[in-house]
Chains A and B, each alone.
Chain A
Amino acid sequence: MTNCFSAENLYRVWDSVTIDFSFTVEKGTMTVIVGRSGSGKSSVLRLIAGLEKFSLRSDGKKPVITLNGNEITDLAPGKRGIGMIFQNHALFNHLSAADNVAYGLRCKGIHKAEARKRAEEYLSLVGLTGFGSRRTDTLSGGEAQRVSLARTLIMQPPLVLFDEPLSALDAPLRKKLAADIRSSQKKENFTGIFVTHDIAEAKAVADRIILMKAGRVQWQGRPEDFSENMID
């Protein structure tokens, strides 16, 4: 398999943790980063997305992020070809579900009617047929996360980042949505990086697991080789 994504020398100093992280992800696979709270998992995603600045390293090494062979390190977040699903859904509550999904297409200059039509299609894809005109603050947690997924997938990004997307949901719904995310990933064939602290969830969606401790890669390998006591 070929590498779709690689990140080298991701470096960021926080008060509580210093992130120093390098890894690669194969095309069409889902890599899950697992770690305790405060280990820097979400910060790694934000650095990849371009939402955080890197810190300068004393050894002069520079961060390099490539996606499908193109360097994207200095590109603006919207120009990297990366989609992101947030923990709290990050839906725009003043817009309807369909307008949320169509938001990215409208930013690209696609006509409102066309964007809306495609948004309805993607809402159906995530099992929300007929939800287009609903206000997002009337949706349940699971529905909101599906809208968020549709909003990301409609842009057809080669890489999707999942920042603990299921952590605010209850256990049965988490299991169901984890399976849905996995099947969407297979169907749409995007590459994913999924962050979670939940081992069962990690094993349910992962092709590969990276264990993160204090901002660094502690272990990486296949889900079946990963055991819970590695975290301690």
Chain B
Amino acid sequence: MTNRIHAAEYSAVVCAGIVSVCIGVAFIFPLAASFQPLFNGKNGIAFNYSNLFRITAYTFKIALGSTLTAAAAGIPAAFFTANRSFPGRRFLLSLSAVPLCIPPLIIALGFVGTFGMNGALNTILMRILHLKNPPFTFLYSSAGVIIAQGFYNFPLVMAVVSTSWENLPVDERDAARMLGADERHIFFTVTIHQLSPAVAAACIPVFLYCFFSFMIVLLFGTIGGTTLEVEIYQAARTTLDFKTASVYALIETSFALAVISAYSKIKPAYAAESPASAHRYNRTKIGDALYESRSMKTAEYVSGILLGTVIVLFFLSPLAGILAGSITGKEGAYVFIKIIHSAGFRNALLGTLETAPFSALLCIITAFVYAWILRVRDPLGQNTLLQTLPMLPMAVSSVVMGYGMTLLVHHGTVPALIAAQAALAWPLAFRQIYASMCAIPQDTLDTAELLSDTPPDTLFRIVLPSCRESIISSFSFCFAVSMGDTTLPLVLSVPRFDTLALYTYRLASSYKFAASCACGTLLCILCILLFSLGKKHD
């Protein structure tokens, strides 16, 4: 009996190892394949260099603009959530789940439903103010892309900076206070330096998300205003200019790798910012802090109201706009019943269930195996190479991965889609599982090893049960991410296959806006449910 258990344990370990290697292969081979056309042919690459510079500069501008917008809203919001108590504080903090669980496509639809020419806000304002033309016309421009992406990602900056701000050691600021510095001077000479690692740690991933942003640019981008990601897609899928697609892919990935390398250097500095002081400030009401001057109090109230208005306008309204967009069509709320009973929706739902759970399963297996290797091989977290490897998928976009996979398998297939999704998403699971694995004391592992018959015993009886919560949580999270992914299914174009996200996109691009919003709302609800389920186990 014991032998049979040991045999099963060993088999499970071998299988998990094989799965992880396969996911590694599913990452490296498509990535290599995406650059392979660069080495084909004898005449070298012939393409427009000025286009290359224009598109790279535009991509950089959009990503930087969006990151600055996210920081401009996220850092002041973090000040309020970390230092002040006010009604809605918890709700504001909970918004940090939105960029993680609501796909960008849905946000894009929300912006169209709110700020589009026939959007809810434009319609209301035109009626109230008797205007002939819609007042908000920024949507289909660079500003529209920057605002949509910036506000979509601002809760991420807010959450990271807020947590750091809350835990900042207060003694340095108190020392500055005792030496006669006023609150403004303290912010610029002390707090900003204490916060800078957290700001960088929050902004770099946001910059990368925006750098790789595909769906929002595809929907809102203007003629001539296109990003590397969209150009790779167009070259690979529409004009079939693989060399151009590969050049763009190489530039995009190299730049992202440089950013990742900077991020990996900043991350330890941010992690080292631990709460060192026994004293913590209690959150005060807005304008009620100790010794704040009257002008500072007024500034705090005014900036709080302004920030709240901007967040409601550019973040909450588009979210509400998705629902509004679905029920304000000709069919009203009946559109939901109609869409649920449609064959297209059923197929899409089946397609989603055919991919997302398997992709999530592969993610957690790979994440667990790598986390265990890291825990054993580098218990002190000092091996830079091993620690940086899980960040590499962050440097590869879905479009590049999909493009490389298409070059490898020629025709998109469901297993290729699952493998590509898992190859990019497993680091999301890794972070959670590795954190819970690191929380197991070394003494516990050593004792377990001494008492175990075989090495896998420790893994199955101690490590796996200790990481159970994080495994469930990351499974739900990866499930939601895969379910909301529009890009890979679009790029791989599996014949006669749809997912909910892809179906929503198809409805939107065929101008069935109400049906698209209804499908998006349902997708959004499913993602939130899954995400909340994961959070319960976090």
Q: How many residues of B contact A (CB 8 A)?
A: 22
A58 to nearest B CB, angstroms? 21
Residues in A whose Cβ lies below 8 Å from that of B171: 86-88, 90
> Given the complex of chains A and B, what is the CA–CA distance between A107 and B278 in angstroms?
26
Residue A82 is within 8 A (CB to CB) of chain B in the complex:
yes
> Given the complex of chains A and B, what is the CA–CA distance between A176 and B290 in angstroms?
37
Which residue of B has the minimal Cβ distance to A154? Answer: B179
> Given the complex of chains A and B, what is the CA–CA distance between A103 and B178 in angstroms?
11
Also in contact, A77 and B177, with CB within 8 A (given A50-B290, A88-B276, A90-B171): yes
Residue B176 is within 8 A (CB to CB) of chain A in the complex:
yes
Query: B279–A46 contact, CB under 8 A?
Result: yes
Q: Of the listed stretches B185-193, B299-307, B480-488, name the one at the interface; the rest are far from the partner chain.
A: B185-193
Query: A92–B177 contact, CB under 8 A?
Result: no
Q: How many residues of A contact B (CB 8 A)?
A: 29
Residue A187 is within 8 A (CB to CB) of chain B in the complex:
no
B206 to nearest A CB, angstroms? 24
A129 to nearest B CB, angstroms? 22
Query: A77–B193 contact, CB under 8 A?
Result: no
Query: B172–A78 contact, CB under 8 A?
Result: no
> Given the complex of chains A and B, what is the CA–CA distance between A76 and B90 in angstroms?
31
Residue B291 is within 8 A (CB to CB) of chain A in the complex:
yes
Most chain B CB within 10 A, of A42, A46, A76, is at A76
Out of A42, A78, A88, A94, which one reaches B178, CB within 8 Å?
A78
Residue B495 is within 8 A (CB to CB) of chain A in the complex:
no
Residues in A whose Cβ lies below 8 Å from that of B182: 78
Query: B174–A51 contact, CB under 8 A?
Result: yes
Residues in B whose Cβ lies below 8 Å from that of A84: 174-175, 178
A75 to nearest B CB, angstroms? 8
Residues in B whose Cβ lies below 8 Å from that of A107: 176, 179-181, 185
> Given the complex of chains A and B, what is the CA–CA distance between A29 and B171 in angstroms?
25
> Given the complex of chains A and B, what is the CA–CA distance between A91 and B175 in angstroms?
8
Residue B74 is within 8 A (CB to CB) of chain A in the complex:
no
Residue A49 is within 8 A (CB to CB) of chain B in the complex:
yes
Residue B277 is within 8 A (CB to CB) of chain A in the complex:
yes
Residues in A whose Cβ lies below 8 Å from that of B291: 50, 76-77
A82-B178, A88-B171, A107-B176 known; 9 new pairs, CB 8 Å cut-off, are A51-B279, A76-B291, A79-B180, A84-B174, A84-B175, A88-B277, A91-B175, A92-B190, A104-B180
**Interface residues in chain A, defined as those with a beta carbon under 8 Å from any beta carbon in chain B:** 42, 46, 49-51, 53, 76-79, 82-84, 86-88, 90-94, 103-104, 107-108, 148, 151-152, 155
A-B contact pairs, 18 of them (CB 8 A): A42-B278, A50-B291, A51-B178, A76-B291, A78-B179, A78-B180, A78-B182, A84-B174, A84-B178, A88-B169, A88-B276, A90-B169, A90-B171, A92-B176, A103-B176, A107-B179, A148-B175, A151-B175
**Interface residues in chain B, defined as those with a beta carbon under 8 Å from any beta carbon in chain A:** 169, 171-172, 174-182, 185, 189-190, 193, 276-279, 290-291
Which 9 pairs show the lowest CB-CB distances between chains A and B? Answer: A104-B179, A78-B180, A90-B171, A76-B291, A90-B175, A94-B193, A107-B180, A77-B177, A86-B171
